[in-house]
């Protein structure tokens, strides 16, 4: 693991909320890293035409997403390509795992978009005991063994190829309708659409990680991560912005919340100095 990098603010999510937060943090002179999935994974990218965001008449979602990406690339924030797997509270800072790497920051802003909290039966129970969210991190533990991978993203297909190089067999289920993970002390069976598959490990590769799995102690309600008006979550030092805090799912709301979360994170850092 790479323990070298420590930032003032680490932002998880490179959509409009995360980019807005990054721009404001940089304006305030903070060191910033943004953990970003592909631009295509953002909600905005799928919008045919944007008609209600000030200053962008007649823009497609793709055009606006690409314009925001250019702004992010030139604002002086570090971009960490990949998926944040966990946020750990280290007392005076946070540690964020992205694949095999580990980054530290004084404050964290979650800008995850709409997060799907639904876990497969057995998923939470067996994480770390035969269920993994990261093939490159844990694949070698299953060298020569039979594994299964659930996921249909580009990353999932790359991980299948990687696992095929080291495992005896890889069963790939891109979009299973129903799944359950079973086992004893460790996961040993994946049930897909009622059919049992004996495996030594199950890799689950989704674009986002359920909030409950990403960071311990974060309060959630039916619509999203619970925040106050400063975008502070129930964990001091972690802020949230955009669709992940709930409705309305709108660009202007997401950008505004990103801005507030950034200002609050800067204030939080200032008070600790
Ligand atoms: C088809 C469509 C049309 C729309 N049209 C409009 C419109 O006309 N006007 C309007 O105001 N709004 C519209 N919206 C809504 C708008 O696009 C969203 O409200 C806004 O883009 C949300 O921004 P966000 O940054 O919160 O989330 P997102 O854009 O979803 O960005 C979140 C990013 O975080 C990433 N992420 C999640 N978890 C992790 C992790 N663990 N590690 C790293 N990255 C992670 C995601 O993959 C994603 O890239 C539309 C949405 C859709 C789907």
Which CATH number belongs to the domain containing residue 238 in this structure?
Answer: 3.50.50.60
Residue 236 covered by a domain? yes
Which stretch of DSSP H or E encloses residue 147?
strand 146-150
Q: What is the DSSP pairing of strand 195-198 with strand 187-192?
A: antiparallel
Same domain flag for 132 and 175: yes
Same domain flag for 156 and 72: no
Residue 1 covered by a domain? no
The CA distance from 135 to 116, in Å, is 21
Residue 266 burial (CB count, 10 A): 19
pLDDT in tens, the chain (273 residues): 445 579 999 999 999 999 999 999 999 999 999 999 888 878 898 889 998 999 988 899 999 999 999 999 999 999 999 889 999 999 999 999 998 899 999 999 999 998 776 789 999 899 889 999 889 888 999 999 999 999 998 889 999 999 999 999 999 999 898 999 999 999 999 999 999 999 999 999 987 788 888 999 999 998 899 999 999 999 999 999 999 999 999 999 999 999 999 999 999 999 987
Same domain flag for 167 and 182: yes
Domain final position from 152, 172, 204 = 204
Looking at ligand 1, which atom is closest to the CA of residue 52?
Answer: 9
| Contacts (Cβ under 8 Å, ≥6 apart) of 48 | 60, 61
Same domain flag for 112 and 218: yes
Q: What distance in angstroms lies between residue 206's CA and the mean position of ligand 1's atoms? A: 15
The CA distance from 268 to 33, in Å, is 17
Q: Please tell me whether residue 22 adopts helix, strand or coil conformation.
A: helix
Same domain flag for 15 and 78: yes
Domain final position from 183, 204, 225 = 204
- Whether 226 contacts 239, CB under 8 Å: no
Residue 219 covered by a domain? yes
Environment class of 194 (CB within 10 Å of its CB; exposed 0-12, middle 13-18, buried 19+): exposed
Looking at ligand 1, which atom is closest to the CA of residue 83?
Answer: 42
The CA distance from 9 to 21, in Å, is 10
Same domain flag for 111 and 22: yes
Q: What distance in angstroms lies between residue 178's CA and the mean position of ligand 1's atoms? A: 26
Same domain flag for 230 and 101: yes
- Whether 165 contacts 111, CB under 8 Å: no
Looking at ligand 1, which atom is closest to the CA of residue 53?
Answer: 11
Answer positive or negative: Cα dihedral of 125, 128, 132, 134: positive
Is the Cβ atom of 50 under 6 angstroms away from ligand 1? Answer: yes
pLDDT of residue 172: 97
Q: What distance in angstroms lies between residue 228's CA and the mean position of ligand 1's atoms? A: 21
- Whether 199 contacts 147, CB under 8 Å: yes
Torsion of CA 126, 129, 134, 136, to 10 degrees: -160
Residue 134 covered by a domain? yes
Domain final position from 204, 229, 248 = 204
Is the Cβ atom of 161 under 6 angstroms away from ligand 1? Answer: no
The CA distance from 184 to 108, in Å, is 36
CA-nearest residue, atom 22 of ligand 1: 243
53-84 exposure pattern, b = at least 16 Cβ within 10 A, e = fewer: beeeeebebbbbbeebbeebeebebeebebbb
pLDDT of residue 4: 53
In terms of DSSP H, where are the helices of the chain? 16-27, 61-73, 123-126, 135-138, 154-166, 211-214, 251-272
Same domain flag for 11 and 28: yes
Looking at ligand 1, which atom is closest to the CA of residue 17?
Answer: 25
Q: What distance in angstroms lies between residue 247's CA and the mean position of ligand 1's atoms? A: 12
pLDDT of residue 1: 40
The CA distance from 228 to 112, in Å, is 17
Residue 34 covered by a domain? yes
Same domain flag for 84 and 38: yes
- Whether 71 contacts 56, CB under 8 Å: no
The CA distance from 211 to 142, in Å, is 27
Q: What distance in angstroms lies between residue 124's CA and the mean position of ligand 1's atoms? A: 25
What is the phi/psi pair of residue 258, to 5°?
-60, -40
- Whether 237 contacts 108, CB under 8 Å: yes
Which stretch of DSSP H or E encloses residue 203?
strand 201-204
Same domain flag for 109 and 215: yes
Q: What distance in angstroms lies between residue 147's CA and the mean position of ligand 1's atoms? A: 32
Residue 252 covered by a domain? yes
Same domain flag for 213 and 107: yes
Is this prediction's pTM over 0.95? Answer: no
Q: Determine the structural domain holding residue 268 and report its residue range.
A: 6-116+209-272
Same domain flag for 109 and 213: yes
Tell me which of 215, 249, 253 to substitute to probe ligand 1's pocket, judged by most ligand atoms within 8 Å of the beta carbon.
249
Is the Cβ atom of 16 under 6 angstroms away from ligand 1? Answer: yes
The total domain count for the chain is: 2
């Amino acid at each position: 693991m790479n323990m070298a990098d420590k930032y003032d603010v680490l932002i998880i999510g490179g959509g409009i909320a995360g980019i807005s937060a990054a721009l404001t943090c940089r304006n305030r002179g903070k060191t910033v890293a943004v953990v970003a999935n592909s631009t295509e994974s953002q909600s905005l990218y799928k919008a045919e035409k944007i008609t209600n965001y000030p200053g962008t008449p007649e823009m497609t979602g793709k055009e606006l997403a690409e314009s925001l990406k250019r702004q992010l690339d030139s604002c002086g924030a570090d971009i960490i390509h990949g998926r944040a797997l966990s946020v750990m509270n280290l007392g005076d800072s946070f540690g964020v795992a992205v694949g095999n790497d580990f980054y530290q920051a004084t404050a964290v802003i979650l800008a995850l978009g709409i997060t799907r909290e639904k876990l497969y039966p057995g998923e939470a129970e067996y994480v770390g005991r035969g269920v993994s969210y990261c093939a490159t991190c844990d694949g070698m533990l299953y060298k020569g063994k039979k594994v299964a991978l659930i996921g249909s993203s580009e990353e999932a297909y790359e991980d299948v190829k990687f696992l095929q190089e080291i495992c005896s067999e890889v069963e790939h289920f891109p979009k299973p309708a129903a799944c359950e993970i079973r086992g004893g002390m460790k996961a040993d069976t994946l049930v897909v659409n009622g059919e049992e598959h004996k495996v030594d490990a199950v890799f689950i590769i989704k674009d986002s990680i359920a909030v409950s799995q990403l960071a311990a102690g974060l309060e959630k309600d039916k619509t999203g991560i619970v925040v106050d008006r400063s975008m502070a979550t129930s964990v001091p030092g972690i802020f949230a912005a955009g669709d992940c805090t709930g409705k309305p799912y709108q660009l202007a709301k997401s950008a505004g919340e990103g801005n507030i979360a950034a200002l609050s994170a800067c204030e939080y850092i200032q008070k600790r100095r």
